[in-house]
Structure 1
Amino acid sequence: MRIRPVAAVATAAGVLMGLAASLLPATGAQAADSHPRGVTTVAHRGASAYAPENTLAAVDAAADLGFAWVENDVQRTKDGELVVLHDTSLARTTDVEQVFPGRAPWNVADFTLKEIEQLDAGSWFGPKFAGERVPTLEDYMDAVEDNGQKLLLEIKSPELYPGIERQILKELRAEGWLDRHHVKHRLIVQSFSADSVKKVHGLRRDVKTGFLGTPAVAELPTYAAFADQINPQYKSIDAGYVASVHKTKGPHGRPLEVFTWTIDDAANAVKAAGQGVNGIISNKPDVVRDALEGAGR
């Protein structure tokens, strides 16, 4: 088990208070991300407006703000290790161009874990995050578990990584995340790839899954065979669409849910809540929470 970087532990003032709160089942992070109408706020790539996305610092920043649910993106290295990073290239969020010049386009799949561990994944965001690393999925799961948080895990570009669904489930099982409690209360696996979501459902039918996109209403029953959630971009939906999703029962016999993305402003958060969504994914989860509380949502 790898050691978490010191920078990830000290991302914001008051983090220890956030962690303590998140461990209490009826208070703190476990309660702060949900509202009277049941709208869950998910910290997108961690609290990525306040710390470098998909890092342990962003996980801890979300906990410090009182949010239980965090979202991340999982990819695979050249030597078969699972890492947490959004882009298929390392160029935008690390210093890979300086450390490994001449290896454009610097794709994750072209670098070993040892090479990726040499990269700075924090300085691009701000000086105080210098030295932050690209976390392995193992490290990321350790941080989420330590914080008492919950995970919306996205399988990123699975077409580039054959078999990644089975590998991710194996890692989740090794970390204790496929026991009854985690599966029922703390884990959702999603992807833009319907085939990838189907594979996860086929391998572990008990795991809650989400499809990222806005299928036509007529196609919802097809997706409901393997997905518990339809998770669309917020500009692509209205109240009628959300109602149609809710009328469709998913693979576990319950109405499909809608987690929409990526809303960072109060007006659109209140609008989405009014449309009946179950969850809002946000880089600024505190802004969403404050807006919904102010609107009585």
Structure 2
Amino acid sequence: MTAAMASVALASGPEGHPELATRGGTLVGIRAGHQAPFVIAHRGASRYAPENTLAAVDAAHRRGLVWVENDVQRTKDGRLVVIHDTTLNRTTNAAKVFPGRAPWRVGDFTASEIARLDAGSWFGKQFAGERVPTLADYLRRLDRNGQGLLLELKVPEEYPGIEAQALRELRELGWLDRAHIRHRLVVQSFCVRCVKRVHRLMPKVRTGILGAPPVSKLRRYARFADQINPRMAEVSSQWARAVHRLRGPHGRRLEIYAWDVGAKASARSVQGRGVEGVID
């Protein structure tokens, strides 16, 4: 990533990507002189702890990963929580605790109901009792660890006003000060209108559009997005060059952070497609 996301040194990248690493604040690979993409921990270190939990944040921290990605949704009573799926049953015991409330949609439960759920046992018994964190608790843990956040507004079209609400909560927790905005925060979404709305509400915050929009739309998106973050399979070198020819709203070249990279990907193959970083 740019200097704004420079990392501390790593002994190695995530499991399955031993070449993806950083050294001395510069993005370099394990092999001397070999440039490597920057690694952002997808839903926290979700290979080592249950995704989107505080345990996953800490697991990323222990492995030297200074940026994490998460997913934010809203409860029935208006609280912001960190969870990927729009339903609760895959990563919690909601079906057991609330057997008559299928399909267990996040927005159909209050924050206090969600706080009762076990969000760790599905991953391993050592994580039994891990909870679905509120965004506030998540931000406090990141601050404690000194980590940065790539925050995804998940299905924001289902939660009207979530853009402004997330920004208010970020402000209340100190995440819209100069240091966080410049070095520790990016807000992204698949919803282009929502990314544009975040930029309109808080122009200083860096933003990203998820997906691989056609080249014909890139110039318009560069007015309000700093990153274009596609699935790795959607990245071609020609498309990446088109992205990099443009500058975002903060005057820097548009960046690409790819996800769903695949366990066999090497730093050389990722970088060969023109990708600055991976969300893995």
Fold match (TM-score > 0.5) = yes
Please tell me whether residue 35 in structure 1 is matched to residue 21 in structure 2: no
Structure 1 runs, 4 residues or longer, greater than 6 Å off: none
Partner of 2:71: helix, strand, or coil? strand
**Measured at CA, do residues 175 and 28 of structure 1 come closer, stay the same or move farther in structure 2, by a change above 3 Å?**
farther
CA separation in 2, counterparts of 1:203 and 1:42? 26
Q: How far has the Cα of 1:275 moved from its partner?
A: 1.7
Q: How far has the Cα of 1:31 moved from its partner?
A: 5.6
Contact 2:210 2:230 in 1 (8 A): yes
Q: Provide structure 1 residue ranges, at least 5 long, that are not aligned to the other structure.
A: 1-24, 283-297
Map Cα deviations across residues 15-59 of structure 1 (whole Å, 9 max, x no partner).
Answer: xxxxxxxxxx98457966862346210000000011000000000
CA separation in 2, counterparts of 1:223 and 1:106? 35
Q: Which residue type is aligned with residue 48 of structure 1?
A: S
Alignment-derived partner of residue 179 in structure 1: 177
1:110-259 correspondence runs (5 A): 110-259=108-257
Alignment-derived partner of residue 48 in structure 1: 46
Q: Which residue type is aligned with residue 43 of structure 1?
A: A
1:65 corresponds, among 52, 63, 66, to: 63
Contact 2:7 2:26 in 1 (8 A): no
**What TM-score, normalized to structure 1?**
0.83
Q: How far has the Cα of 1:235 moved from its partner?
A: 0.2
Aligned residues with identical type, % of pairs: 57
Q: Which residue type is aligned with residue 192 of structure 2?
A: A
CA separation in 2, counterparts of 1:281 and 1:270? 16
Q: Which residue type is aligned with residue 221 of structure 2?
A: Y
Q: How far has the Cα of 1:270 moved from its partner?
A: 3.1
Q: CA RMSD in A?
A: 1.7
Q: How far has the Cα of 1:279 moved from its partner?
A: 1.0
Alignment-derived partner of residue 16 in structure 2: none
CA separation in 1, counterparts of 2:72 and 2:258? 19
Q: Which residue type is aligned with residue 51 of structure 1?
A: A
**Measured at CA, do residues 42 and 101 of structure 1 come closer, stay the same or move farther in structure 2, by a change above 3 Å?**
same
Q: How far has the Cα of 1:248 moved from its partner?
A: 1.1
Partner of 1:140: helix, strand, or coil? helix
Alignment-derived partner of residue 19 in structure 1: none
**What TM-score, normalized to structure 2?**
0.88
CA separation in 2, counterparts of 1:55 and 1:168? 18
Alignment-derived partner of residue 279 in structure 2: 281
Q: Provide structure 2 residue ranges, at least 5 long, that are not aligned to the other structure.
A: 1-5, 11-20, 29-34
Q: Which residue type is aligned with residue 227 of structure 2?
A: Q
CA separation in 1, counterparts of 2:142 and 2:239? 33
- 240-249 or 56-65, which deviates more: 240-249
Alignment-derived partner of residue 15 in structure 1: none
Q: How far has the Cα of 1:271 moved from its partner?
A: 1.2
CA separation in 2, counterparts of 1:247 and 1:135? 39
CA separation in 2, counterparts of 1:26 and 1:72? 18
CA separation in 1, counterparts of 2:70 and 2:148? 11
**Measured at CA, do residues 150 and 26 of structure 1 come closer, stay the same or move farther in structure 2, by a change above 3 Å?**
closer
- 30-39 or 183-192, which deviates more: 30-39
- 272-281 or 168-177, which deviates more: 272-281
Alignment-derived partner of residue 83 in structure 2: 85
**Measured at CA, do residues 202 and 78 of structure 1 come closer, stay the same or move farther in structure 2, by a change above 3 Å?**
same
Q: Count how many residue pairs are aligned between Structure 1 and Structure 2.
A: 258
1:106 corresponds, among 97, 101, 104, to: 104
Task: Indicate the structure with greater helix content.
Answer: 1
Q: How far has the Cα of 1:268 moved from its partner?
A: 5.0
